[in-house]
Amino acid sequence: PAITGTKRFTVPPRIAIMSTALSFNLVPSSIQERFFEFLLAGVDYQLKDGIFYTECTTTLSNVELMIEGCDETPRPYSGEEPLDCTNEFEKNKRYFWLQFSEQDLIIDTRFESSDEQLCIVAFLPNKDDFWVLGQSLYTDYYVVHEPTRGQLKIAPTDLRKKPKMRQDSLPPEDLLNLFS
């Protein structure tokens, strides 16, 4: 599910690959038409070779994606034990919102010697039906990859410009099925 600004756009769950190697993000093939229609509503843009270009001064609304996860945060003052996310993931599964902030949604590709005034929107179409989430998501989050445990740990930085990750419930199934 995704939210942009004050408008809501809900999409069915899809697998996501997190990649520090990419500056941009890839949108699953089954939802990209509606996603880009929603993301770029009211924005002057050009589409060329699968890349969305817009003025570098363009402001897009924040985008938030809900991820499935588990909160292993120690709670020393509450007396609660941290959740066991390795052995009891299904039992302790939670849903969290991660934010792409507006300043991370436009990638400036201009060079000093260039007259080019267009920048790239940080989301691109994917020919496959899964998300690839790149550097624009990682901004202002600490991210630890633990491949041997099959885990990714995410926490906002102390100097965060993004809001604290908030827990929420998964939207109702009938809402998710609208875009299947």
Q: Which domains does the chain have, with CATH numbers?
A: 2-171 (2.40.70.10)
pLDDT interval class at 120 (50, 70, 90): very high
Residue 74 pLDDT greater than 80, yes or no? no
Greater confidence (48 vs 145) lies with 48
What pLDDT, on the 0 to 100 scale, is given for residue 180? 42
Q: DSSP 3-state assignment of 26?
A: strand
The partner residues of 7 in beta bridges, in order of sequence, read 4
Q: State the Cα–Cα distance between residues 168 and 83, nearest whole angstrom.
A: 17
pLDDT interval class at 179 (50, 70, 90): very low
pTM of the model: 0.78
Mean per-residue pLDDT, 28-34: 91
Q: State the Cα–Cα distance between residues 8 and 5, nearest whole angstrom.
A: 8
3-state secondary structure 58-90: CCCCCEEEEEEECCCCCECCCCECCCCCCCCHH
What pLDDT, on the 0 to 100 scale, is given for residue 1? 46
For 161-174, write each residue's pLDDT tens digit: 777 777 777 665 54
Q: State the Cα–Cα distance between residues 84 and 94, nearest whole angstrom.
A: 12
What pLDDT, on the 0 to 100 scale, is given for residue 177? 44
Could you count the other beta carbons within 10 Å of the beta carbon of residue 139? 15
Q: State the Cα–Cα distance between residues 161 and 147, nearest whole angstrom.
A: 28
